[in-house]
Amino acid sequence: MNTTGLYYEDVVLDEDRKSATRPVTPADIRAFCELTEDFHPLHTDAAYAQSRGFPGLIAHGLYGLALMEGLKTSLKLYENTSIASLGWDQVRFILPLLAGDVVHVVFRVTGKRLSSRAGRGVLTEDVRLVNQRGEIVIQAQHAALVLTRGPAGSD
């Protein structure tokens, strides 16, 4: 089976997929601060973060969520078949994402249905950001809109 450019019909339910790893650096956290204008001291001052019970700088939860999408996209599963992200649900920041963590994404498609618009299908994905200790840092549900092979699509 083709593992890049998957169409709706190609997607197998409940099959785990895993991304490559990526380190989270203080520079990454700083860049996200600058991009979003969120300079809370948890993200900029290690001593402050430690005073709040963390071992050091923590990344923004939304940085982790964005990284989840990027790591999932790096697999190129829907490289030419993705239409849009329909949104994220049930987002849970389970553990802090720390500077120095090395993370990857594990996800599986847990549901799929044809869209009301011909030629499109909706996938429901369970997505987890996992650190180097095998701990789930962030977990969420994602809905993605992808192309079907034909105008009507089929299950």
Cα separation, 36 vs 32, in Å, equals 6
What would the mean pLDDT of 73-86 be, rounded to a whole number?
Answer: 94
| pTM attached to this predicted model | 0.91
Number of domains in the chain: 1
152 has a pLDDT exceeding 90: no
Please choose, from the candidates 65, 79, 130, the residue with its C-alpha nearest in 3D space to the C-alpha of residue 102. 130
Please choose, from the candidates 108, 106, 116, the residue with its C-alpha nearest in 3D space to the C-alpha of residue 145. 116
The CATH number given to whatever domain includes residue 17 is 3.10.129.10
Could you tell me which residue, 2 or 32, shows the higher pLDDT?
A: 32
* 119 CB burial (10 A radius; 0-12, 13-18, 19+): middle
* 90 CB burial (10 A radius; 0-12, 13-18, 19+): exposed
What would the mean pLDDT of 2-10 be, rounded to a whole number?
Answer: 81
pLDDT tens, 22-60?
999 999 999 999 999 999 999 999 999 999 999 999 999
Q: Place 1 in a pLDDT band, splitting at 50, 70 and 90.
A: very low
Residue 16 within any structural domain of the chain: yes
Percent of the chain exceeding pLDDT 90 equals 93
Residue 134 within any structural domain of the chain: yes
What would the mean pLDDT of 1-27 be, rounded to a whole number?
Answer: 89
Residue 65 in contact with residue 91, Cβ under 8 Å? yes
Q: What is the span of the domain harbouring residue 129?
A: 8-24+60-147
Residue 78 within any structural domain of the chain: yes
Structure confidence at residue 90 (pLDDT): 98
